[in-house]
């Protein structure tokens, strides 16, 4: 008993010849269908070149067009010839001219001999698979497709549209449940002959002639009628890109293909000499009895499709420049923005770095320069601290910074004294964690040695800027994780907010804060605010500070601000 | 391509692109006097045109080249390069340009975009040896992995990518003048096409728009820019006096002067070039799903 190879060929005849010889040498008879589109002269030369092999035959030629019945007709004619001519064939394997056998022929023969009643054909109902590209799934069985998709696209689309609008539907022959799958199958003589010689073949053929892409559904549906045991997978390894076009294998896929242990792969780049040399030479070494294992290839190619369709979040480059609000990721990784914390706490930055292990920058959008951590002049990715280049395109500055420091959490300080051009971008970024203590910008003014009229003026300016920023943060378009406290609220009970922020950053294990940053001395701050009020400038972002007392200098140590579940 | 006095780079250039499967070279020799003309005449797969006219007046050679492309490249994939540019794309060590372009066509694409990546040496400029025919990457191995900024420009919808080492070293205080780094050197040419501004942008605008969101990674490559070989200092001196480059030549005087000072472009943040996989991981190019 052996395996018969039905081969559909339309280009790269030299490679098809090589593969056919390989199969025949391994003891498998081959029936070749050559597309009528191949010029007669070429066909004759091809047939002549193979005429020295008695187990290679040529079947009646059809003009094949993708998506149409002609491909099924070609495989039917070739299969019939195979079953009639070669009585010892038990399985028939449908392959194309660009298929490459990856394992010695005997291994395939043995594998199938051990499974004499099994049909290997990928076959799933349309409702269950998301394979179809372009939207026609169940409708390919219920509409009519008289126009060519490749040559008459407009008519094709219009006619589909018309049938939909009129509600026209064809009847599926009684008893058939439409199934779809890869067109590369391997069927037993019993199943294949039942399909080809069944009493209803005329009716079924007439029906499938009007189905869209019948080579992916004819055998797949009918095998379900007759088969004893279906393994719903193809023995041919083939991968598809996001448009449903087959991935091509090149010389550099050699190791990957070898490790897949699959029997046959397609499509192969016709000039991949290394692949053809490696796989079509005589088998050396021990025979393997392993199952095909395309898992690794599947994963790698699935990743490639995702890279193509989704891209890498937060990356902006010459071939990835998403339109605003259509980004898959405004930035590449989560980061934290702190506003007002360095004003309230004396040692906030070193404390934060220690508590989280993150890289903690100063004011990245400071008017003089970007205050990188530890006073560095350039950061990962040769990002310069120059304010001029930063302000030339602040969105891009931030995207670059987060992209180039992937793998390390970034935190930075922000405030109303900084360049505000970045506010919308950050607010709309789900990667941003923004924590604001509103009104805290007044603490440096409180401690400064400026004249009071200048302080009043500056306070009014900063309050206006921060108020505008808060409006952005409160807009319905904001997607960042945003927390805002008034300063009065925050200094009243600073532990709980701090713990919440740290938990969300998530770099420390859930445990209670062991060390708290030191609150600045705010004695007299309430009076300072009252003085501003008395001057007619109303500072409201800080919340309500009592005039006489400063806030409690340190939180009550007995209180447990955070309960660990 | 258009070139002038590039004898140093040409032997390696031809070897590199022949290995990638370029079938024919069309070269405009703009009045070289260093033996370039003889070298070109000896190449079997090369057609050479010669002109003493002004490079600048021909819009930096674009007018000359557009005519050649219109006449000889229609219906073919055409690659427009400078002599100091080495094209890198996914799998370029193992797959030829034929494989790349056929795959692009199967995807319905007719354009392949790149970013120019300036390579520089570890030492101050001009302090090394470069032997003719040698791989320039032995001499200039370092690059800036960032920052690169992109924005879209009207009216022809081209992307404008700027940044990198030349900005860091020479244009820190004039980022708007920082060099344009995006190029679309590889196009399946049609006689109605034209490059607009070197090969940074092209007409019709749909060619520029082929790199459009929403958020996918389109296939793209990198042009390794070997401008900073040791002869850069000599070239800067010459260019300074010829003033054939750029739209406002006087604005470039500071740049030439800076190069004449033999600056060291290397910093601890510099990255050593290892291959296209590295460039893809850094987000400087993309295989675009070509596995």
CA distance B175 to chain A (A): 6
The arrangement of secondary structure in A335-534, i.e. its CATH architecture, is 3-Layer(aba) Sandwich (3.40)
In a domain, B9, yes or no: no
- A252 in reach of chain B (CB within 8 A): yes
**Range of weakest confidence among A19-33, A112-126, A246-260, B145-159:** B145-159
Closest-approach residue (CA) in chain B for A384 = B168
pLDDT-derived band at B211 (thresholds 50, 70, 90) equals low
Q: How many CB pairs under 8 A join A and B?
A: 169
For chain A, the domains span 2-134+174-309, 335-534
Q: Mean pLDDT, to the nearest integer, of B141-167? A: 84
What is the biggest distance separating any 2 CA atoms in chain B, rounded to whole angstroms? 50
In a domain, B81, yes or no: yes
Which chain B residues are within 8 Å of A245, Cβ to Cβ?
A: 106-107
Interface of A with B in 360-379 (CB under 8 A): 378-379
In angstroms, the CA A78 to CA B244 distance is 68
Q: Print the domain residue range for B81.
A: 77-281
CA distance B206 to chain A (A): 14
When the pLDDT of each residue in chain A is averaged and rounded to a whole number, the result is 88
> DSSP secondary-structure letter at A11?
S
Burial class (CB in 10 A: 0-12, 13-18, 19+), A91: buried
Contact B218 A379 (CB under 8 A): no
**Range of weakest confidence among A5-19, A71-85, B49-63, B242-256:** B242-256
Which chain A residues are within 8 Å of B181, Cβ to Cβ?
A: 318
pLDDT over 80 at A129, yes or no = no
In a domain, B145, yes or no: yes
Say if A2-134+174-309 and A335-534 have the same CATH topology. Answer: no
C-alpha torsion angle, residues A378, A380, A381, A384 (rounded to 10) = -20
CATH code for the structural domain at A2-134+174-309: 3.90.550
In a domain, B69, yes or no: no
Contact B214 A241 (CB under 8 A): no
CA distance A266 to chain B (A): 14
In angstroms, the CA A188 to CA A421 distance is 69
ipTM score assigned to the predicted complex: 0.74
The string of pLDDT tens digits covering residues A390-430 is 999 999 999 999 999 988 999 999 999 999 999 999 999 99
Which of B217, B219, B278, B285 is most worth mutating to test chain A (most A CB atoms within 10 A of its CB)? B217
Share of chain B above pLDDT 70, in %: 95
Question: Helix, strand, or coil here: A263?
Answer: coil
Which of A304, A306, A381, A382 is most worth mutating to test chain B (most B CB atoms within 10 A of its CB)? A382
Which chain B residues are within 8 Å of A403, Cβ to Cβ?
A: 146, 283
When the pLDDT of each residue in chain B is averaged and rounded to a whole number, the result is 87
For β-strands B25-29 and B46-50, DSSP reports them as parallel
CA distance A23 to chain B (A): 27
Question: Helix, strand, or coil here: A391?
Answer: helix
In a domain, B26, yes or no: no
pLDDT over 70 at B126, yes or no = yes
Residue A348 φ then ψ, to 5°? -65, -45
In angstroms, the CA A11 to CA B115 distance is 36
In a domain, B108, yes or no: yes
Which of A98, A269, A317, A422 is most worth mutating to test chain B (most B CB atoms within 10 A of its CB)? A317
Nearest Cβ partner of B216 from A239, A308, A380? A308
In chain B, how many domains are there? Answer: 1
In a domain, B27, yes or no: no
In a domain, B67, yes or no: no
């Amino acid at each position: 008993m052996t395996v018969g190879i039905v081969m559909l060929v339309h280009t790269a005849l030299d490679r098809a010849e090589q593969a056919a010889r390989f199969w025949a040498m391994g003891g498998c008879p081959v029936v070749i269908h050559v597309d009528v589109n191949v010029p007669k002269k070429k066909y004759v030369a091809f047939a002549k070149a193979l005429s020295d092999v008695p187990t290679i035959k040529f079947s009646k030629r059809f003009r094949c067009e993708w998506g149409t019945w002609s491909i099924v007709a070609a495989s039917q004619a070739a299969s019939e010839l195979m079953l009639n001519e070669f009585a010892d064939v038990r399985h028939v394997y449908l392959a194309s001219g660009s298929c490459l056998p990856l394992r010695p022929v005997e291994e395939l023969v043995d594998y199938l001999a051990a499974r004499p009643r099994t049909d290997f054909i990928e076959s799933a109902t349309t409702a269950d698979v998301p394979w179809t590209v372009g939207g026609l799934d169940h409708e390919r069985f219920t509409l009519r497709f008289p126009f060519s998709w490749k040559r008459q696209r407009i008519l094709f689309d219009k006619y589909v549209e018309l049938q939909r609008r009129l509600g026209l539907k064809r009847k599926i022959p009684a008893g058939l449940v439409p199934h779809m799958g890869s067109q590369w199958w391997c069927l037993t003589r019993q199943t294949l002959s039942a399909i080809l010689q069944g009493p209803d073949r005329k009716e079924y053929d007439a029906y499938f002639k009007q189905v869209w892409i019948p080579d992916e559904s004819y055998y797949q549906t009918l095998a379900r009628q007759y088969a004893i045991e279906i393994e719903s997978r193809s023995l041919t390894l083939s991968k598809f890109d996001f448009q449903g076009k087959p991935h091509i294998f090149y010389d550099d896929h050699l190791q990957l293909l070898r490790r897949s242990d699959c029997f046959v792969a397609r499509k192969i780049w016709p000039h991949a000499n290394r692949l053809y040399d490696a796989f079509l030479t005589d088998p050396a070494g021990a025979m393997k009895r392993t199952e095909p294992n395309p898992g690794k290839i599947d994963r790698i190619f699935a990743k490639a499709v995702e890279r193509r369709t989704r891209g890498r979040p937060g990356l902006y480059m010459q071939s990835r420049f998403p339109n605003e609000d259509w980004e898959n990721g405004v930035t590449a990784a989560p980061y934290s923005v702190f506003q007002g914390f360095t004003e309230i706490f004396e040692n906030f930055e070193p404390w934060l770095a220690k508590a989280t292990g993150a890289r903690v920058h100063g004011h990245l959008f400071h008017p003089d320069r970007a205050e990188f951590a530890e006073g560095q002049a350039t950061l990962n990715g040769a990002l310069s601290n120059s304010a001029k280049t930063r302000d030339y395109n602040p969105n891009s500055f931030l995207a670059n910074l987060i992209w180039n420091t992937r793998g390390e959490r970034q935190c930075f300080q922000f405030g109303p004294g900084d360049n505000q051009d970045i506010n919308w971008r950050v607010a709309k970024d789900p990667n941003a964690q923004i924590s604001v203590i509103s009104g805290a910008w007044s603490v440096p003014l409180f401690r400064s040695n400026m004249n009071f009229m200048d302080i009043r003026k500056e306070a009014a300016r900063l309050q206006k800027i921060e108020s505008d920023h808060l409006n952005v943060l409160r807009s319905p378009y904001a997607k960042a994780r945003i927390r805002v406290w008034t300063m009065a609220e925050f200094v009243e009970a600073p532990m709980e907010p701090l713990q919440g922020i740290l938990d969300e950053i998530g770099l420390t294990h859930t445990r209670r804060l062991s060390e708290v940053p030191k609150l600045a001395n705010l004695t007299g701050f309430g009076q300072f605010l009252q003085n501003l009020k008395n001057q007619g400038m109303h500072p409201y972002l800080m919340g309500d500070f009592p005039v006489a007392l400063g806030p409690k200098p340190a939180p009550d140590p007995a209180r447990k601000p955070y309960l660990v579940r | 391509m258009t070139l002038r006095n590039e004898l140093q780079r040409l032997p390696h250039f031809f070897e590199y692109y022949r290995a990638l499967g370029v079938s024919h070279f069309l070269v405009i020799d703009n009045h070289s006097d260093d033996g370039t003309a003889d070298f070109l005449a000896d190449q079997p797969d090369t057609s050479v045109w010669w002109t003493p006219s002004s490079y600048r007046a021909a819009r930096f050679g674009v007018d000359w080249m557009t005519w050649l492309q219109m006449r000889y490249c229609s219906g073919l994939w055409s690659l427009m390069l400078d002599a100091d540019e080495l094209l890198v794309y996914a799998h370029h060590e193992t797959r030829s340009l034929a494989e790349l372009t056929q795959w692009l066509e199967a995807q319905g694409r007719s354009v392949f975009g790149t970013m120019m990546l300036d390579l520089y040496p570890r030492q101050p400029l001009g302090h090394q040896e470069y032997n003719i025919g040698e791989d320039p990457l032995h001499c200039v191995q370092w690059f800036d992995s960032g920052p690169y900024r992109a924005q879209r420009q009207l009216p022809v919808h081209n992307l404008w990518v700027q940044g990198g080492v030349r900005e860091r070293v020479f244009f820190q205080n004039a980022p708007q003048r920082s060099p344009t780094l995006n190029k679309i050197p590889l196009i399946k040419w049609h006689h109605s096409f034209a490059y607009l501004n070197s090969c940074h942008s092209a007409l019709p605008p749909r060619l520029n728009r082929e790199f459009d969101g929403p958020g996918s990674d389109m296939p793209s490559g990198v042009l390794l820019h070997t401008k900073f070989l040791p002869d850069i200092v000599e070239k800067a001196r010459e260019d300074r006096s010829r003033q054939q480059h750029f739209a406002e030549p006087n604005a470039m005087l500071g740049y030439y002067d800076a190069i004449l000072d033999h600056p060291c472009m290397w910093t601890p943040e510099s990255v050593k070039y290892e291959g296209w996989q590295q460039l893809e991981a850094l987000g400087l190019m993309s295989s675009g799903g070509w596995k």
